Amino acid sequence: MNKENLDNLRHSCAHLLAAAVLKLYPNAKPTVGPPIEEGFYYDFDFETPISENDLMKIDQKMRELVKKWVSVEKIEVSKNEALKKYKGNKYKQELINEFSEEGKQITFYKSGDFIDLCRGGHVENPSQEIKHFKLLSIAGAYWRGSEKNKMLTRIYGTAFKSKADLDNFLTMKEEAKKRDHKKLGKELDLFTFSDLVGSGLPLYTPKGALLRRLLTEYLEEIQSKEGYSQVWTPQLAKAELFKKSGHYDKFKDDMFIVKSHYSDEEMFLKPMNCPQHTQIYASKSRSYRDLPIRYTDFAMLYRDEQPGQLNGLARVRAFSQDDCHVFCREDQVNDEIDKMLMMTKKVMSTFGFKYRYRLSTRDPKHPEKYFGDLKTWDKVEKWAEKIMKRNNIDYFDGPGEATFYAPKMDLMATDALGREWQLSTVQIDFVQPARFELKFIDKDGKEKTPIMIHRAILGSSERLMMILIEHYSGAFPLWLAPVQVKIIPIAEKHNNFAQKIAKELKKNDIRTDVNEKSESMQKKIREAQLEKVYYMLVVGDREIDSGEINVRTRDGKTSSMTLDVFIKDTKENIAKRTNLS
């Protein structure tokens, strides 16, 4: 079943949900109910709050109603007719007035005796096609995503063409709950949030900060060998910079405004690094011999995400990404991108991700969204396609997913649960260098405009951490584990020996903790397993007498060896950065 057909099925199921709710709660005010990636939702303004205990009876009412939904009828109405229909529903009236102002035809869709304001996209015979669905949860959601508006009740559900697909989804959903990065992040003491700091602004504990640093250091190790140089740029800039780049026109509503006590100058926290990097390039004259120039930047970025869209580390307001911008001649583009793709392949292999690429191109229906001339866009989109074919890359088309200045080659990684996430991106940009009037002196002595290649491999560090926490279920590979070894003395008298071992391990850069609590050995082992520590070393009289240590892995395997052998093997495994967890 293709995406459009699945969306239509889920959209019809959202209507069915609204119909059932109104039968059970006649005073509820329905608002909007779109299909989404994993199913659908519908937002309601209830007079009396409902809970997840009410989902069963709503589900039963849906199954009762759908038997009579043998067709879907489209009805075109005037603005006045629509407003009259929703006389007591300010939410629907707001939408109707907007549609009317935009000159759009107002339409209702009817199934059985239920009518809803809707743009369309439904199955033809709901009674035959809506069979395999389930209501999942209830959450709060501000009307139109703004915390200035009233909090509504959002009911989530999902629907599939077959029972097998639904059952598989629900199984994966249960596994995803166990792997939820917000739950594991707390249990493993990686990050936290504070109402005093602000929503969407993560705070990293020592373990979380270490994990974050290991990821960025790994990438820096790879890219520095390939001639990339780190730069550092301020976290705020004048509005003029973003006006010049075009982000002010296209992105302003997503940017944080910064106020000064001493100046009326309009400033913003930066949502991306590329405009600042153009200014480093422009700070001196450049020759064709200087190119390519490769800048990387791990500076913090800020985006004013709507409160209803914030979700742990998956969607935040403060983040960093492994930004890289290469300024080069046109004849250097292919080699630079091939190098980027090879680096990306190595990183994805380290994490054990399978992946494919999305060729993110313009939305042909909305040319006003993009800067630059059509000929250049045609050229770059075809160029990106040739690059992926030449590199034997599995890709699919993503119309409308381009940025406002360039198409993208977006890597879509598949995690352990089969979910796809966008990580890496490569973009060939003619627009930004032209807008900033960047130049280099070519071999003929004439000024030319460089091409700017945008590249990220990890993408957002925050989002990657979320993906890895869930991908590994918190059981990180040895090289990434915040604590690699936990030493467990059997009794208090063994603490000194445990500390001596810890000292040797730390001298060899092996991250080690000692559990000196006055608890049983079994309880200490259980605690280390819950912390998902990679190795546990149990030490007692036998280990002191024999000179060997008892090594236990988190999956329960045990062995004995000398400390020297353990250190040698562990250091080798860390250096390999194997993705085995």
Please, are residues 363 and 381 in contact by the beta-carbon 8 Å criterion?
no
Q: Which residues pair with 425 in a beta bridge?
A: 410, 456
Q: Residue 531 half-sphere exposure, CB side, CA atoms within 13 Å?
A: 21
**d(C-alpha 478, C-alpha 575), whole Å:** 10
Please, are residues 214 and 465 in contact by the beta-carbon 8 Å criterion?
no
CA 31 to chain centre: 27
Residue 48 is classified by DSSP as: S
Asked about 325 being catalytic, the answer comes back as yes
Where is 556: in which H helix or E strand?
A: none
Asked about 422 being catalytic, the answer comes back as no
Asked about 408 being catalytic, the answer comes back as yes
Residue 260 CB-density burial (10 A; 0-12 exposed, 13-18 middle, 19+ buried): exposed
Asked about 358 being catalytic, the answer comes back as no
**d(C-alpha 345, C-alpha 354), whole Å:** 10
Please, are residues 28 and 43 in contact by the beta-carbon 8 Å criterion?
no
- 3-state per-residue secondary structure call for 394-431: CEEEEECCCCCCCCEEEEEEECCCCCEEEEEEEEEECH
Of 13, 274, 324, 328, which residue is the catalytic one?
Answer: 274
Nearest CA to 469 out of 109, 189, 76 is that of: 189
Asked about 247 being catalytic, the answer comes back as no
CA torsion through residues 417, 423, 427, 432, sign: positive
Of 11, 154, 325, 339, which residue is the catalytic one?
Answer: 325
The response to whether 274 counts as a known ligand-binding position is: yes
Nearest CA to 453 out of 288, 250, 231, 296 is that of: 296
**d(C-alpha 413, C-alpha 92), whole Å:** 39
**d(C-alpha 283, C-alpha 293), whole Å:** 13
Please, are residues 156 and 135 in contact by the beta-carbon 8 Å criterion?
yes
Residue 120 CB-density burial (10 A; 0-12 exposed, 13-18 middle, 19+ buried): exposed
Asked about 366 being catalytic, the answer comes back as no
Asked about 303 being catalytic, the answer comes back as yes
Nearest CA to 317 out of 143, 139, 137, 147 is that of: 147
Q: Which two tokens stand for residue 101?
A: 């102002």
Please, are residues 291 and 126 in contact by the beta-carbon 8 Å criterion?
no
Q: Residue 427 half-sphere exposure, CB side, CA atoms within 13 Å?
A: 27
Of 7, 116, 322, 323, which residue is the catalytic one?
Answer: 323
Collapse the DSSP code of 25 into the 3-class scheme (helix H, G, I; strand E, B; otherwise coil) and give the result.
Answer: coil
The response to whether 471 counts as a known ligand-binding position is: no
The response to whether 454 counts as a known ligand-binding position is: yes
Strands 535-539 and 548-553: antiparallel
- 3-state per-residue secondary structure call for 135-180: EEEEEEEEHHHCCCCCEEEEEEEEEECCHHHHHHHHHHHHHHHHHC
The Cα-based distances of 170 to 115, 159, 290, 417 in angstroms read: 30, 11, 55, 12
Active site residues: 274, 303, 321, 323, 325, 408, 454
Going by the annotation, the residues of the binding site are 274, 325, 454
Going by the annotation, the residues of the binding site for Zn(2+) are 274, 325, 454
